[in-house]
Amino acid sequence: MCPRINHAIRDSLPTAVQYLFTITTQNNDTISNLIKTTHSFNYNELPQAYLLEGAVYNVEISTKRNLILDFSDPGQKCSIGLRGRTTTLAPFDCGLTYNYLIQDTLHALPIEGAQAYKYRIFDGVNFIEDTVSNSTSSTGINLIKFTGIKYCTSYLIDVRVLVSGIWGPYGEACQIITVCNPLTVLRPSFCDATVSSCGTNSYSRSILYAEGYQFYISGGNINEIVTSTSNAGFKLQNLVGVANLTYETSYIIKCRVLVNGVWGAWGDGCSIYLQTNSTLTTYCNQTIPAIGVNVMSSSVGCASDYRFRINGPNVSNLIVNSPILSNCFRFSQVNEAQFNSTYQVEVSVLVGGLWSQFGTACSINTPSTLSMIESNEETMIVENAKEEVANQNSVDLLTAQNVDFSNLVSVYPHPTSDIFTLSFNNSSDKNTELTIFDNSGKLIENMLVNLTNTSSLNIGENYPNGSYHILIKYSNYTITKKLIKLSNL
């Protein structure tokens, strides 16, 4: 007879005094020759290396009727083995209907000492099996791993486990069902979330075999459907009615998916709250090098304008809103600002015709008073021009002092009661640095101008009445101009 699982026994022979159990592998390599006075042996008597769950061995049995005689010829060869352990799908995953075939995960009941798990599904006709081997760190498998899995189908799923390098048998099967009409919603990380920009991507949960996604957005002055064909994401800034979008507003988002040419139903909606907290990105909690440098705020998606609220010595809730500088301002625009002082600056943005709340305040320190370049500046400028021209070998050094500066940069109107216009002529150098001082030597403004798309620039709108000096590094020359602003022109 074939032995039982862990205790191998043959029929007892009344005249036998010894039994020889010859155990070999499936390749007929000898594992052990056990001589017993009884008609059984234990698996534990095999070498430890062969005590493997699921391993199958061959056993042949010979007997002796007398100790002085040889063993008889062996009887019929029989196969024996330690039955491999089995597992099943976890009860909390059984009997369910599944919608998200990409994300939904099925889990096997864990087996101690397991090296891996294999799964197969059966639709009544075909098996899709052995699609993945999971390590001991996880007993789960995503349904998408089953190549060819379909919607609107009932499947039987079973699992087997790898122990000691040997796969056990598949365990008891469990039924699962896939939905006929998949639904989708915003992913959990985007649902009921607060976003700080209309340029932030929001994603729905992905659907296998999806041909497109739609998002229905409602809230504030928005009531619109956005279609996405390439992925499951969208941005509020892609709305046709983006001009009606407002911050500090909640929007309800519903999603649906196109599968096999048919749009499914809308999934449950959830909200996103569009909130901005625009703050400074330059010189926050620092000292600015000059009052004419740009102090920048963070860029906010869909914002059409920015304004800055400033508080500090001599300044109380001053709003600076430059139509030229967009998301930055300069302390040269704050006439009452003092040197060597600390100011609190907050930012608000204009979206959909409404200004947002002011964001978190930043401290900015103004610099100490800087001195104007003194004495004989025209001579200094010509000498600079000589040096730069000589370095380029483009103009004879002796003629450098004869450069006609007035033809390179012109200023008009001059004097003025409003703004000065600088006009730049005949230059291949499009990056030009301007530095403006008042008559006391106070640095008013410093800027780098890109002249790629323009040949003129307006300055001085917020300058108080008085005299100013402007240094222009332009077209390989450094040029000085004097500006006068009067209110009674």
**Residue 292 placed within a domain:** yes
Question: Considering the entire predicted model, what is its pTM?
Answer: 0.55
Q: Are residues 99 and 150 in the same domain?
A: yes
Q: Are residues 144 and 107 in the same domain?
A: yes
pLDDT of residue 324: 56
**Residue 185 placed within a domain:** no
Apex CA 469: angle with CA 389 and CA 366, to 5°? 110
Apex CA 346: angle with CA 450 and CA 463, to 5°? 50
**Residue 186 placed within a domain:** no
Domain boundary among 365, 390, 425: 365
Domain boundary among 318, 345, 365: 365
CATH value at residue 120: 2.60.40.10
Q: Are residues 404 and 340 in the same domain?
A: no
**Number of Cβ within a 10 Å radius of residue 62:** 18
**Residue 281 placed within a domain:** no
Q: Are residues 383 and 480 in the same domain?
A: yes
Question: Rounded distance, CA 252 to CA 439, Å?
Answer: 58
What total number of domains does the chain contain? 5
Q: Are residues 167 and 213 in the same domain?
A: no
Q: Are residues 473 and 387 in the same domain?
A: yes
pLDDT of residue 10: 52
pLDDT of residue 134: 58
- 310-347 burial, b at 16+ Cβ within 10 Å, e below that, comes to bebeebeebebebeebebbbbbbbbeebeeeeebebbb
pLDDT of residue 488: 66
CATH value at residue 73: 2.60.40
Q: Are residues 250 and 216 in the same domain?
A: yes
pLDDT of residue 257: 94
Q: Are residues 263 and 210 in the same domain?
A: yes
pLDDT of residue 401: 39
pLDDT of residue 138: 62
CATH value at residue 458: 2.60.40.3080
**Residue 183 placed within a domain:** no
pLDDT of residue 178: 96
Q: Are residues 382 and 481 in the same domain?
A: yes
Per-residue pLDDT of the chain (489 residues; tens, 9 = 90+): 344 344 455 556 677 889 999 989 888 889 889 998 888 888 778 887 777 776 788 899 999 888 888 898 888 888 877 777 889 999 999 999 999 999 999 999 988 888 889 999 999 888 886 655 655 556 788 899 898 899 999 999 999 888 878 888 899 999 999 999 999 999 999 999 998 788 888 899 999 999 999 999 999 999 999 998 766 688 888 889 888 888 889 999 999 999 989 999 999 999 999 887 778 888 899 999 888 788 888 878 788 888 999 999 999 999 998 665 578 888 888 888 888 899 999 998 888 788 888 888 999 999 876 433 333 333 333 333 333 333 333 333 223 334 455 567 888 888 888 888 888 876 556 678 888 887 766 778 888 777 777 778 888 888 888 888 888 876 666 777 878 888 766
Owning domain of residue 393: 377-485
**Residue 1 placed within a domain:** no
Residue 129 makes CB contacts below 8 A (sequence gap 6+) with: 118, 119, 120, 121
For residue 381, report the phi and psi dihedrals to the nearest 5 degrees: -65, -45
pLDDT of residue 131: 55
Q: Are residues 155 and 199 in the same domain?
A: no
**Residue 297 placed within a domain:** yes
Domain boundary among 124, 145, 178: 178
**Residue 371 placed within a domain:** no
Q: Are residues 381 and 469 in the same domain?
A: yes
Nearest Cα to Cα of residue 255 among 272, 274, 237: 272
pLDDT of residue 459: 87
Residue 409 makes CB contacts below 8 A (sequence gap 6+) with: 422, 423, 424, 425, 472, 474, 479, 481
Q: Are residues 61 and 104 in the same domain?
A: no
Amino acid at 148: G
